[in-house]
Amino acid sequence: MTYELHYWPMIQGRGEFVRLALEEAGADYVDVAREDDDAGGIGPMLDRLSDPANGRPPFAPPFLRDGDLVIGQSAAILLHLGPRLGLAGTSEADRIWTHQLQLTIADAVDEVHDTHHPLGVDLYYADQKPEALRRALGFRQTRMPKFLEYFERVLVANGGERLVGADRTYADLSLFQLVDGLHYAFPRATAAALQAAPHVERLHDAVARRPRIAAYLASARRVPFNEDGIFRRYPELDG
Amino acid sequence: MTYELHYWPMIQGRGEFVRLALEEAGADYVDVAREDDDAGGIGPMLDRLSDPANGRPPFAPPFLRDGDLVIGQSAAILLHLGPRLGLAGTSEADRIWTHQLQLTIADAVDEVHDTHHPLGVDLYYADQKPEALRRALGFRQTRMPKFLEYFERVLVANGGERLVGADRTYADLSLFQLVDGLHYAFPRATAAALQAAPHVERLHDAVARRPRIAAYLASARRVPFNEDGIFRRYPELDG
């Protein structure tokens, strides 16, 4: 069975959390909107999103097709894929804990997004730069350290190398992605904040070295970070 | 087994989605921080949150204790409670769809919060009023209609009365709460937007009439909406 991932082809965005899980597991999948055929591109993706034949439509990309099932919301997609890909621990308690961590990572990602779009998604960054400066200040000084120190505490309580139990989970991959994005968007502030979260930094580096992840990151399948995505390098927002 | 809910005692907030599910099911639960004893109040709640003996700590309230399990993130709590309370449909496909809807409702709730706190949670509303006016404008004109029309589409595709399958789910209760909060915070804009989402309004009214929900809403257990919560009535933000 080939999984079909549908997401904006030009950004990592929220789809990247799903891509990383599929890549780590060596799953058979197609990143449909990035295909160079009639199925690819944004138009066909949006057509699928609004397909009236789907009575359970996703609100927005990303969405995953697994046979007859179409699932939106990146955290829900990972909830579905986790046990199937062997990336959600071994017990029901592990699965719900992995998911709880994912939702907290998603909250952090939302706050990163709002650093450059505090007044909303319908305005350009150029139309909200003074406000972005103020929002980014609070993010760098308070929120980013709070999130990173939380994950540090969780890592240390679990032995230091993984967030959940004895094996890699999608929460580890997602924390890698959060930290990778923070390094891109806020290189100075992130380096400073990671001083208080050394296990988080080591987890980031360890995930990047995993063979399938390293191969993925070096491939054309990994969309580079850019200023259309969630993690944007606007130096003025890094203080 | 008594469920223990731990949440800020003075607001509905994100804990309300959990309270509604527990109330609808007639579940045996204690809203611990609202108890008038040594276990109640904010201090003991925050002590539990930072308890070093819990190796799987929630990031923030709400959290639920179910025996040995402590779960944070309102959507994860509902994921756990849904099947136990009979509020998540009948199949695995129903459960993941119910959860996907919950996550989309949570996204809408986050956007409501940001209408009065566009520059972040570390500043008072009074310190970000001009920015709140701009953010609220986009929310009223674009985002609220988009969310409500999405749920209208989902309702109509499922026969008009429920979001998932043939029975009530926690997604219905949460959509009630979203609409109830929108009516409180943006009475004019919400009435206008619901013109295009009549089934959403009818679902809201039908949930409010369910015997256990009606009894709950009329009780002292329901914290009134107020200007410390997510849904705040600042008339200037209603246009």
pLDDT of A96-115, one tens digit each? 999 999 999 999 999 999 99
Question: Mean pLDDT in chain A?
Answer: 97
**How many domains is chain A partitioned into structurally?**
2
Q: Are strands B63-66 and B3-6 parallel, antiparallel or unpaired?
A: antiparallel
Going by the DSSP 8-state scheme, the letter that residue B189 receives in this structure is H
- Asked if pLDDT for residue B42 goes beyond 90, the answer is yes
Structure token pair of residue B221: 């257990």
Domain boundary among A63, A85, A107: A85
pLDDT, one tens digit per residue, over A151-177 is 999 999 999 999 999 999 999 999 999
Please check whether residue A233 lies inside any domain of the structure. no
Query: What is chain B's mean pLDDT, rounded?
Result: 97
Is B67 in the same domain as B24? yes
Contact A55 B158 (CB under 8 A): yes
CB contact under 8 A, B120 and A110: no
CB pairs under 8 A between A and B: 120
* Alpha helices, DSSP H, located in B71-197: 74-85, 92-116, 129-138, 144-157, 170-185, 187-194
Q: Give, for B64, the enclosing helix (H) or strand (E).
A: strand B63-66
**DSSP per residue over A182-232, as a string?**
HHHH-HHHHHHHHTT-HHHHHHHHHHHHSHHHHHHHTSTTSPPP-TTSSS-
Instruction: Choose among B212, B219, B204: nearest CA to B86.
Output: B212
The one-letter amino acid at A215: A
Residues of chain A in contact with residue B80, where contact means CB-CB under 8 angstroms, are: 96
- CB neighbourhood size of A24 (10 A): 23
Q: What share of chain A is helix, strand, coil (3-state, %, to 5)?
A: 55, 5, 35
Model confidence at B86: pLDDT above 90: yes
Chain centroid to Cα A184, Å, comes to 14
Would you list the DSSP string of A126-169?
A: GGSHHHHHHHHHHIIIIIHHHHHHHHHHHHHHTTSS-SSTTS--
Q: Do both A138 and A36 map to the same domain?
A: no
For residue A106, what pLDDT is reported?
A: 98
CB contact under 8 A, A154 and B100: no
The distance of A62 to chain B (nearest Cα, Å) reads: 12
Range of the domain at A76: 3-85
Judge if B115 and B209 occupy the same domain. yes
Q: Are A42 and B145 in contact (CB under 8 A)?
A: no
Quick: pLDDT tens for A130-158: 999 999 999 999 999 999 999 999 999 99
pLDDT at A213: 98
Quick check: B53 pLDDT over 90? no
Chain A residues with CB under 8 Å of B132 CB are none
Element (H, E) at B4: strand B3-6
Is residue A236 one of the residues assigned to a domain? no
ipTM beyond cut 0.95: yes
**Taking CB atoms and an 8 Å cutoff, what residues of chain A touch B110?**
110
Residue B97 has pLDDT above 90, yes or no: yes
In a domain, B229, yes or no: no
- Inter-chain residue contact B104 with A73, CB threshold 8 Å: yes
Please indicate, yes or no, whether residues B62 and B123 belong to a single structural domain of this protein.
Answer: no
User: B178 with B193, same domain?
Assistant: yes
Whichever domain contains B200, its CATH number is 1.20.1050.10
Q: Of A39, A68, A85, which residue sits at a domain end?
A: A85
Statement to judge: residues A57 and A106 lie in one domain: no
User: Would you give the DSSP letter of residue B169?
Assistant: -
The Cα of A215 is separated from the nearest Cα of chain B by a number of Å equal to: 31
- Is residue A72 within a helix (H) or strand (E), and if so which, with residue range? strand A69-72
The answer on B211 and B108 residing in a single domain is yes
B206 occurs within a structural domain:
yes
Token pair listed for B196: 């295009």
Cβ contacts (< 8 Å) between A65 and chain B: which residues? none
Domain presence at residue A43: yes
Q: What is the CATH number of the domain that holds A42?
A: 3.40.30.10
Please indicate, yes or no, whether residues A203 and A131 belong to a single structural domain of this protein.
yes
Please state the rounded mean pLDDT for residues B42-64: 93
What is d(CA B225, CA B227) in angstroms, rounded to the nearest whole number?
7
Which amino acid makes up residue A136?
Answer: A
pLDDT at residue A1 greater than cutoff 90:
no
Whether A56 and B154 lie within 8 Å, measured CB to CB: yes
A92 CB contacts (<8 Å, ≥6 apart)?
Answer: none
> Which of B27, B55, B85 is at the close of a domain?
B85
Per-residue pLDDT of B142-190, as tens digits, reads 999 999 999 999 999 999 999 999 999 999 999 999 999 999 999 999 9
Whether residues B78 and B111 share a domain: the answer is: no
- A191-195: long-range contacts, CB 8 A cutoff, minimum separation 24: A193/A140, A193/A144, A193/A145, A193/A148, A194/A148
- Smallest Cβ–Cβ distance between B135 and the set A71, A120, A139 belongs to A120
Question: Cα distance from A220 to chain B (closest Cα, Å)?
Answer: 30
In a domain, A114, yes or no: yes
CA distance B1 to B69: 12
For A15-64, what is each residue's pLDDT tens digit? 999 999 999 999 999 999 999 888 899 999 999 998 888 899 999 999 99
Are residues A78 and A46 part of one domain? yes
DSSP, collapsed to helix, strand or coil, labels residue A50 as coil
Kindly state whether residue A140 falls inside one of the protein's structural domains: yes
On the CB side of B219, how many CA atoms lie within 13 Å of its CA? 12
Nearest to B100 among A76, A99, A123 (CB): A76
Please give, rounded to a whole number of angstroms, the shortest distance from the CA of A237 to a CA of chain B. Answer: 13
A29 with A125, same domain: the answer is: no
Verify that B161 and B66 share a domain, yes or no: no
Residue A88, both tokens: 């959600």
> Is B71 in Cβ contact with A79 (below 8 Å)?
no
Q: For chain B, percent helix, then strand, then coil, each to nearest 5? A: 55, 5, 35
Q: Please check whether residue B228 lies inside any domain of the structure.
A: no
pLDDT score at A52: 84
Residues B86-118: b if buried by 16+ CB within 10 A, e if exposed: ebbbeeebbbbbbbbbbbbbbbbbebbbbbbbb
Q: Does residue B52 surpass a pLDDT of 90?
A: no
